[in-house]
Amino acid sequence: MNQTIVPNGGPKLKLVEAAEKLFAERGFEAVSVRDITKEAGANVAAVNYHFGSRDGLVIAVISRYIMPVNQERLVRLERAERNGGDVREIIAAFVKPIVEQVGKSELSEKLYCQLLGRIFSEQSVSLPGELEYQTRNVVERFTKALHKALKEFSPDEVLWRLHFIVGGLIHLLTHSGFLYRVAGSLAGAPSVESNIERFLDFAVAGLRDGLPSAEGEEAAPKKKVPQAQFDF
């Protein structure tokens, strides 16, 4: 990874850490350069000096969090495929690297989850070229692996189900606080790890819906829809 993009220390790192905290709390669009430099205790010109622009700083924040997640996803996927390509292990390989990064961040667990959710969900955030290429590769690799495990479904059906899982994951990361506000004690106080296990149960059930059960039951009939062809 290019260390000029993701700094290891010094004033550049202070700016990145200030930016990621504010982005997590308020969202990418609501935070100004002045907000960031004030939080970092830096001069307003520091962002342009170190990153070229506000967009350059945004790229540094996104790269710092998403590149390690994607790299670990592919490592885990290879392991899952060597183990036979179980659906739950494949989805765990996609989801769990996000949780593992919590302990490596200076952000609190809550802010870390909010930041990841915002990176994936806010339409104003565009991925830098290297990271977009990496993310496309991750999507293609996981779609192939899941299609191999769920042969009864077409590649585009698998891709859409993975897309829905990503949506659910974003919602879990970004909006859990809303559930606690409206449901109170009923929601309990689960850790991120236990919520991820709960999410995996939900995701695997959604992926497998319509397949014959382990007891040999027939799959529920599904409406026929035109299927697109994918190269992966």
State yes or no: pLDDT of 42 exceeds 90.
yes
CA gap 37, 32 in Å, rounded: 9
Lowest-pLDDT range, 56-60, 84-88, 98-102?
A: 98-102
Report pLDDT digits (tens) over 1-29. Answer: 443 456 667 889 999 999 999 999 999 99
Q: Which of 101-115, 155-169, 179-193 holds the top average pLDDT? A: 155-169
State yes or no: pLDDT of 60 exceeds 50.
yes
State yes or no: pLDDT of 33 exceeds 50.
yes
The predicted pLDDT at position 145 comes to 97
Rounded to the nearest integer, the mean pLDDT of the chain is: 84
**Please, are residues 102 and 111 in contact by the beta-carbon 8 Å criterion?**
no
State the amino acid at position 182 in one-letter form: V
The predicted pLDDT at position 18 comes to 95
- CA 172 and chain centroid, separation: 11
**Please, are residues 118 and 28 in contact by the beta-carbon 8 Å criterion?**
yes
Q: Which two tokens stand for residue 73?
A: 């996803």
**Please, are residues 113 and 177 in contact by the beta-carbon 8 Å criterion?**
no
Report pLDDT digits (tens) over 153-177. Answer: 999 999 999 999 999 988 887 887 7
Q: Which two tokens stand for residue 17?
A: 């850490």
The predicted pLDDT at position 125 comes to 64
Asked whether the whole model's pTM tops 0.75, one would answer: yes
State yes or no: pLDDT of 213 exceeds 70.
no
With both helix axes pointing from N to C terminus, report the angle between 192-208 and 155-183 in degrees, rounded to the nearest 10: 140
